[in-house]
Amino acid sequence: MKKQMQSWGLMSLAALIAVGVSGCGAATDSKPGGSTGAAPAGTDSKPIKLRIVWWGSQARHDATLKALDAYTKKHPNITFEPEFSGFDGYADKLATQAAAKNAPDIIQMDPAWLAEYAGRNQLADLSKGIETGDVDKSLLDSGKYKDKLYAIPLGNNATGMVFNKNTVDKLGIKPPANGWTWEQYFQFGKDAKAKLDKDKYVLMDYTSDYTMYSAYQISQGKGYPITADGKFNIDKETYLSYVNKYTELRKEGVVPPAEIASTDKESDAKLDLMNNDTVLMKRSFAALFPGYDGVKPDTYTLVTQPKGTQSSGWLKPSMFWSISADSKYVEESKKFIDWFINDKEAADILTTTRGVPVSKKILDYLTPKLTAADKLQIELIKSVSPDAQPFNPGAKGWSNYTAKDFKDIGEKVMFGKTTPEAAYDELVKKAKDYQ
**Dist CA 406 CA 237 (whole Å):** 17
**Dist CA 129 CA 28 (whole Å):** 5
| CATH number for region 13-155+318-358 | 3.40.190.10
**Dist CA 406 CA 207 (whole Å):** 9
Which residues are CB-contacts of 197 (< 8 A; sequence separation ≥ 6)? Answer: none
pLDDT tens for each residue of 21-38: 333 333 333 333 443 333
Mean pLDDT of 131-148: 91
pLDDT tens for each residue of 221-260: 999 999 989 999 999 999 999 999 999 999 999 999 999 9
Of the candidates 90, 130, 100, which has an alpha carbon nearest to the alpha carbon of residue 323?
130
Q: What length does the chain have?
A: 435
Residue 298 CB-density burial (10 A; 0-12 exposed, 13-18 middle, 19+ buried) = exposed
* 172: DSSP letter: T
**Dist CA 424 CA 333 (whole Å):** 44
> In the structure, what pLDDT confidence band is assigned to residue 275 with cuts at 50, 70 and 90?
very high
For CATH 3.40.190.10, the residue range(s) in the chain are 13-155+318-358, 158-315+390-431
pLDDT tens for each residue of 331-377: 999 999 999 999 999 999 999 999 999 999 999 999 999 999 999 99
> In the structure, what pLDDT confidence band is assigned to residue 66 with cuts at 50, 70 and 90?
very high
Q: Looking at the predicted structure, is the pLDDT value of residue 272 above 50?
A: yes
SS (H, E, C) 207-254: CCCHHHHHHHHHHCCCCCCECCCCCECCCHHHHHHHHHHHHHHHHHCC
The architecture (CATH level 2) of 158-315+390-431 comes to: 3-Layer(aba) Sandwich (3.40)
pLDDT score of 34: 40
Q: Looking at the predicted structure, is the pLDDT value of residue 45 above 90?
A: no
Which residues are CB-contacts of 231 (< 8 A; sequence separation ≥ 6)? Answer: 395, 435
> In the structure, what pLDDT confidence band is assigned to residue 395 with cuts at 50, 70 and 90?
confident
Q: Looking at the predicted structure, is the pLDDT value of residue 1 above 80?
A: no
Nearest 5°: phi and psi at 216? -65, -45
Which residues are CB-contacts of 101 (< 8 A; sequence separation ≥ 6)? Answer: 21, 326
pLDDT score of 279: 99
pTM exceeds cut of 0.85: no
Cα 312 to the chain's mean position, in Å?
17
Of the candidates 248, 226, 236, which has an alpha carbon nearest to the alpha carbon of residue 426?
236
Question: Which range, 99-113, 368-382, 387-401, is most confident?
Answer: 99-113
Q: Looking at the predicted structure, is the pLDDT value of residue 286 above 50?
A: yes
Mean pLDDT for all residues in the chain: 90
pLDDT score of 137: 87
pLDDT score of 41: 46
Q: Looking at the predicted structure, is the pLDDT value of residue 403 above 50?
A: yes
